[in-house]
Chain A
């Protein structure tokens, strides 16, 4: 029998700890700690990522998995088409420039900073637009009015094929005008996938009338040639990515198969949510599936990775229910997910409906503890479960209390009593900002607590507001969202505090008030809240110290809920319309795929 050294020219290494670099994939080593042979192997999986900015289907797509683009689309069958654009950075979505013409079921290709969109519904459009990373401008008209075709290539060398009402058409774009290709599709069809380049393309699947087809064709710049068919019929406008000799096809019923230039092979990866009619981007090893649904619209984003890393998307899951549902409570903002605190609040109407109870969370269940001294609502909190600080709120707007894990003590009052305020920090270094001080105008006033007394900071929020949420510590805090002075609209503004002054930073993509927030100044999430009072939102956005991108949404929309924890392990509890529900956020992870080798 041949030995490993004879086959590979080197011996198996003995290692105390497992290698962790993707470049170690394929190597075999002996782990002296576990007394096992191990290897790093590639795995092909889908994982959820930050939700798209709206629930859509029928968008155009371009770019890569780390710099993707999705544009246009429609909310649900029969609804109004949109002209919006979303840019993806590998974690979530931010808004880009709007297209000139709203539409769905269009051709898309190119990159995030040099994309092309053409044709579309309604009205079998010929309109072409080019994106430069910030705005869309008009390009040359498509030769035939068309929708439900597909495209590939670049902004200056694109290929469009198939669609309705001319299913066998094939056309080429040179950066300014479209011309008919020398050859047409042999099997004219709509709803198809097309990947590759203008001179080396692959068209796969779909139909222009029942039943779905598995047929595939390759284009060499002049002629379309029939090649081996897909193994599985996929639903209308399924997803595709890659190049002619290394492509993937995925979508309803949720499976994925790969193409090596000759044959299609079924792969074990399965989409988290089987769907079609969304947009796609990326390559055969790193791809995106954006929005879409079996005939409907979602905001789901999934990444496909064929890599040595196992990637798991972030998600919200249900936690233990509060014993007493409420909103407007004070959370211990710097408490971890597994040791949180919820003090007082309201369950109105009828207003004010003050709840006086205090509850502690252990990661599984809430238990009732000693009530705080003054029941109130719309206040803020800081600290941890065993060293908490709560302050402000109605009706005792300047009251401050400390909690040591078993009893409450009244301490120094806020200098400016207020309600609907923001807070964060620790019991011995708390921070209070914004709110309603009782005058007609909301305030940006900021106060710092030192363990015994509040001192007014020289720094005030640049955008005075109430219902603002924050996280972090007294010398490195983040404030986001809220409701501004007249016209009293929700704010997207976010600001960073350095212990002295507030500085405006990147704004939320969706203005909101009374949401939840957790994390630290440069790594935070803001979630749920009201876009307009009472409306509720499930949106979650993640902040990296510079800008906000969409993340995975909460399950139940609510406002004025309590929040605590980190980006890796966040917590959201109670809230208006949320009742007593708790949700726990688990951040996404990426770990090297080490496998223990066995003889079986």
Chain B
């Protein structure tokens, strides 16, 4: 059985996930509104209630990659002076667990 299930759902703000949700199941957010939840009834119900588009792990990874790669391309297009700011770090790849 897969450890986690993945979905894409827009974070609508207050109430999107509650403290009670966090106590019921594992939840973690990633770029491009990708959400990873524990593979149990509560996690699956939450994804369904949020109208999430459920993804396989590889599909979810592709969504994250597209977002990160777009950010990296924007960063790469900056001038050398802009890139030199130590706090303006190049977006790093995100690997889903």
Contact = CB atoms under 8 A, between A and B. Distances in A.
Interface in B23-79: 23-31, 38-40, 42, 71, 74-75, 77-78
A319 B82 contact: no
B29 A317 contact: no
Contacts of B91: 534, 577
A350 interface: yes
B97 A76 contact: yes
A397 interface: no
Contact of B40 (A274, A313, A582): A274
Contacts of A467: 87
B12 to A, nearest CB: 8
A319 B15 CA distance: 7
Contact of B23 (A48, A352, A378): A48
Contact of B4 (A296, A315, A581): A296
B90 to A, nearest CB: 7
Contacts of A274: 40
Contact of B3 (A295, A352, A552, A586): A295
Given A48-B22, A273-B40, A315-B23, A534 B89 contact: yes
B13 A273 contact: no
B82 A273 contact: no
A274 B18 CA distance: 19
A57 B71 CA distance: 34
A420 B87 contact: yes
A313 to B, nearest CB: 6
A319 B23 contact: no
A491 B91 CA distance: 21
A47 interface: yes
* Interface of B, helix, strand, loop or mixed by DSSP: loop
A351 to B, nearest CB: 4
Contact of B13 (A47, A254, A365, A378): A365
Contacts of A215: none
B17 A556 contact: no
Interface in A34-89: 47-48, 55, 76
Given A47-B23, A556-B29, A318 B16 contact: yes
Contacts of B97: 55, 76
A272 B86 CA distance: 42
A584 to B, nearest CB: 8
B17 to A, nearest CB: 5
B11 A316 contact: no
A298 B26 contact: yes
A348 interface: yes
A294 B27 CA distance: 15
Contact of A350 (B3, B11, B27, B82): B82
A26 B71 CA distance: 61
Contacts of A319: 13-14
A533 interface: yes
A321 interface: yes
A445 interface: no
A55 B28 CA distance: 13
Contacts of A581: 11, 29
A538 interface: yes
Contacts of A555: 17, 22, 27-29
A321 B11 contact: yes
A297 interface: yes
A538 B28 contact: yes
B73 to A, nearest CB: 10
B3 A296 contact: yes
Residue among A47, A420, A533 with the highest chain B CB neighbour number at 10 A: A533
Given A535-B92, A586-B19, A350 B28 contact: no
Interface string A293-315: 11111101000000000001111
A435 to B, nearest CB: 11
Contact of A300 (B12, B16, B26): B26
A63 to B, nearest CB: 23
Contacts of A316: 19, 22
B25 A582 contact: no
A312 B24 CA distance: 12
23 contacts: A48-B23, A76-B3, A272-B23, A272-B25, A273-B40, A293-B26, A294-B3, A296-B3, A296-B4, A297-B3, A298-B26, A315-B19, A317-B19, A317-B22, A328-B87, A348-B82, A350-B82, A378-B87, A488-B86, A536-B94, A555-B29, A556-B30, A584-B19
Q: Which 10 A-B pairs have the closest CB atoms?
A: A296-B3, A556-B29, A315-B19, A315-B22, A351-B82, A318-B16, A534-B89, A321-B13, A533-B89, A534-B92
Interface of A: 47-48, 55, 76, 254, 272-274, 293-298, 300, 312-321, 328, 348-352, 364-365, 378, 420, 467, 488, 533-536, 538, 552, 555-556, 560, 577, 581-582, 584, 586
Given A47-B23, A349-B82, 20 more contacts: A274-B40, A293-B3, A293-B38, A294-B39, A297-B3, A315-B22, A317-B19, A317-B22, A321-B13, A328-B87, A348-B82, A350-B74, A350-B82, A351-B82, A351-B83, A365-B14, A534-B91, A535-B92, A552-B22, A556-B30
